[in-house]
Structure 1
Amino acid sequence: MTIQVTKLSDPAVRAFVSAVNAHDRDAFQAVLAPDATMSDDGSDRDLADWTEREIFSSHGHMEVDRESNDGHSLTAHYCNDAWGEMKTKWSFTVDDSGRISRFETGQA
């Protein structure tokens, strides 16, 4: 059973998932800290390049199955035009200003 995006506990994570699913680059950038970083399957990636390829140009979409760690960890079905659908895990670090300073994703 999926969790509705509006029911996600952490406001920054909720905004992140909403922006991904809406393909809203401006909202996505707004939720990230200026020096945000990310990793995919344990390897640091270039944030702008990765998000363009894996989210925006490939129509990425997240369906959240579970959250933990006060809403900073998610298990989700993620699909995009490049890879199809896969079960993924997401971990978010939210800074003191309420923006995401780092996220890590990979297959679950």
Structure 2
Amino acid sequence: MDDSDHEQVPYRWSDKDLILSIAVQPRASGNALVGIHGAFIKVRLTAPPVEGKANQLLIKQLAKWFGVPTARIEIAQGETAKRKIVRIQHPQKLPAFIKKP
């Protein structure tokens, strides 16, 4: 049996909102939306994971990458973890590895 159709995808659509499973690499040399790594979308951030700085930068960068205001991005789970679930309301831009519903 071929399991390729049942691969775990690190994102899903909820109506027009995009739900992402993200793995954050803080204190990186640059900010980058790396791509899919296993069950997560890898994001590199220059900010350290202290006092919410990495979360603030994550929201700012996701807003830029997905073409939305920061108010339309919510960290739904993983506020203090490297692995997070993030909701983006009505993204206007999508990276090539994310397919529209």
TM-score, normalised with respect to structure 1? 0.26
Higher share of residues assigned strand: 1
Query: Which structure has the greater CA radius of gyration?
Result: 2
1 or 2, which has the higher helix percentage?
A: 1
TM-score (norm 2): 0.27
